[in-house]
């Protein structure tokens, strides 16, 4: 299939984005310039339903166009509504509604999450509203009292010295989204390089970001036509 008059972007001076093994970036967002919009006439809604799985280290992930990788009718995705941004239509937003640490839901006012969060496979770390981040950090530090703290690493301010520790017990952390979708994070999605793998946005009014570290091992299904985002744990 030939897509005529396709518009590409060209990078002239980009630092740290590409390497010898990277040919460029493929944007699967929305908007008039998106791959979805530019191929709609020739390919229909082929790109409106796709999924991917960001793998952990030394594993393989996948990108599936046209639908989820699994076709098993018994497979269940935890689904949350997909929200389109009126300001930036290229963004796909979800409504984070709560955080659970070690089986207990944190007491965070719902209004804190009202700005929404961008599902972003290119962002590394999840960025939470400051009020939500402080609640998570407090609960995480309380659960990790047995381990000695170390200095901050970049924007990650809750780090530990695990030198000589054979078995680190990381508290279970889950993200609760609108529609009742609960995403249970694996330990490597909670602790990265010895640090709590979350940070804070500039204010509670700013958009949050769900980064690829927290998406690891989950098949993330975008169904643009149906208006939903699904999560399936243990996919890669």
Return the closest-CA partner of residue 177 out of 214, 150, 141, 205.
214
- Please give the average per-residue pLDDT across 134-155, as a whole number: 96
Instruction: Answer yes or no: are the C-beta atoms of 48 and 225 closer than 8 Å.
Output: yes
For residue 119, list its beta bridge partners: 210
- Which pLDDT belongs to residue 69? 63
Q: pTM for this one?
A: 0.89
Report the 10 Å Cβ neighbour count for 139.
19
SS3 label, residue 158: coil
- Which pLDDT belongs to residue 171? 97
Eight-class DSSP state of 30: -
Report the 10 Å Cβ neighbour count for 104.
11
Report pLDDT digits (tens) over 22-68.
777 787 888 888 888 888 887 777 778 889 999 988 889 998 887 66
Report pLDDT digits (tens) over 100-141.
999 999 999 999 999 999 998 888 999 999 999 999 999 999
CA atoms within 13 A on the CB side of 186: 16
Helix (H) or strand (E) holding 138: helix 130-143
Domains of the chain: 52-233 (2.40.70.10)
- Here the contacts of 62-65 (C-beta below 8 Å, separation 24 or greater) are 62/236
Residue 233 has pLDDT above 80, yes or no: yes
- Which pLDDT belongs to residue 49? 85
Q: Tokens standing for 67?
A: 């639908």
- Which pLDDT belongs to residue 67? 64
- Which pLDDT belongs to residue 183? 97
Question: Which is more confident, 190 or 3?
Answer: 190
SS3 label, residue 166: coil
Report pLDDT digits (tens) over 160-217.
999 999 899 999 999 999 999 999 999 999 999 999 999 999 999 999 999 999 999 9
- Which pLDDT belongs to residue 87? 81
Q: What is the C-alpha to C-alpha distance for residues 77 and 230, in angstroms, rounded to an integer?
A: 5
Question: What DSSP assignment string belongs to 181-229?
Answer: -EEEPPGGGTEETTEESEEE-S-TTSPEEE-HHHHTT-EEEEETTTTEE
């Amino acid at each position: 299939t030939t897509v005529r008059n396709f518009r590409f972007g060209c990078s002239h001076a980009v630092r740290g984005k590409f390497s010898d093994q990277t040919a460029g970036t493929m944007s699967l967002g929305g908007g008039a310039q998106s791959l979805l919009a530019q191929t709609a006439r020739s390919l229909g809604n082929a790109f409106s339903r796709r999924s991917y799985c960001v793998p952990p280290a030394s594993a393989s992930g996948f990108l599936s166009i046209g639908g989820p990788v699994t076709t098993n009718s018994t497979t269940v995705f935890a689904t949350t509504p997909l929200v389109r941004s009126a300001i930036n239509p290229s963004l796909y937003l979800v409504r984070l509604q709560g955080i659970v640490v070690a089986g207990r839901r944190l007491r965070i006012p719902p209004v804190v999450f009202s700005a929404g969060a961008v599902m972003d496979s290119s962002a590394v770390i999840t960025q939470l509203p400051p009020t939500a981040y402080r609640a998570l950090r407090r609960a995480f530090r309380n659960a990790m009292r047995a381990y000695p703290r170390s200095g901050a690493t970049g924007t990650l301010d809750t780090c530990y010295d695990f030198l000589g520790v054979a078995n680190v017990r990381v508290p279970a952390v889950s993200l609760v989204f609108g529609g009742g979708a609960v995403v249970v994070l694996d330990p490597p999605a909670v602790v990265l390089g010895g640090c709590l793998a979350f940070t804070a946005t500039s204010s509670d009014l700013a958009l949050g970001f769900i980064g690829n570290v927290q998406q690891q091992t989950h098949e993330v299904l975008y169904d643009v036509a149906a208006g939903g985002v699904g999560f399936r744990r243990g996919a890669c």
